[in-house]
Amino acid sequence: MVNIVVEWQPVILSIKVALCSLVFVAIFGILAAHLMRSREFPGKAAAEALFTMPLVLPPVVTGFLLLILIGKQGPVGRLLNEYFHTQIIFTPYAAILAGTVVAFPLMYQSAKAAFLAVETNLEDAARTLGASEWRVFWTVTLPLAWPGLVAGLILSFARALGEFGATIMVAGNIPGKTQTIPLAIYFAAEANDLTLAGLYVVIISLITFSLIFWLNSWSKMKARPAAGRAVS
């Protein structure tokens, strides 16, 4: 019997990268969606198209653009090197950036749909009672949109967890440093170690399946009380 030793570092790193990406995705995705819902300005359609592009572009293209941006000769990379004497290229921070960029459209689209589903008359009622826009957002809009936001968070985490193309472009495949589960699967398969690659596939599949299963179950539970109130 052949003993297969699973290196858990890619699994742990992938979860850390996905969680860190989720923080940025949640903040910027929710704020961007709220801004797009509540404001009209020139170039809004172009901004929304830009926000959605990483969802439809090949991840390698997204990774290439990030490489141009944060590479040693890129504007951000040169700035970091000159003023802070550091680089994020080929580091875990680059993997977090890649995960954030590719997962952002899912959070943005989910948040936008959730905010659009909020009844504006409830927000207007809060305003007539003297609530500021910031208070209306935190006490009315956000709680009512919460189910859609949770769906966006789960899908964004799963997307960041499985990111490959952009990650390999900007973070590389450095075992123990930047090697995530998708990278470990690819290079294990390339080395003809199909058993190890299969084990990583099972691990990431179980994680994503559990997330989606929980989301579906939670959504059904949230829908039951609403259906009961509608009937009554």
pLDDT per residue as tens digits for the range 206-222: 999 999 999 999 888 87
Nearest to 184 by CA among 166, 170, 199, 169: 199
Tell me the pLDDT of the chain averaged across its residues.
90
- What is the rounded CA–CA span in Å between residue 160 and residue 59? 12
Give the residue with greater pLDDT, 20 vs 229.
20
Enter the DSSP assignment of 92: H
pLDDT per residue as tens digits for the range 57-72: 999 999 999 999 998 8
Nearest to 168 by CA among 176, 156, 180, 154: 180
Q: What is the pTM of this model?
A: 0.89
Domains and CATH numbers, the chain: 9-224 (1.10.3720.10)
CB 17 within 8 A of CB 92: yes
pLDDT per residue as tens digits for the range 90-114: 999 999 999 999 999 999 999 999 9
pLDDT per residue as tens digits for the range 10-44: 999 999 999 999 999 999 999 999 999 888 889 88
How much helix, strand and coil, in percent to the nearest 5, is found in the chain? 80, 0, 20
Long-range CB contacts for residues 46-54, cutoff 8 Å, separation at least 24: 51/104, 51/105, 51/108, 52/105, 52/108, 52/109, 53/105, 54/101, 54/102, 54/104, 54/105
* Torsion 131-137-141-142 (CA) sign: negative
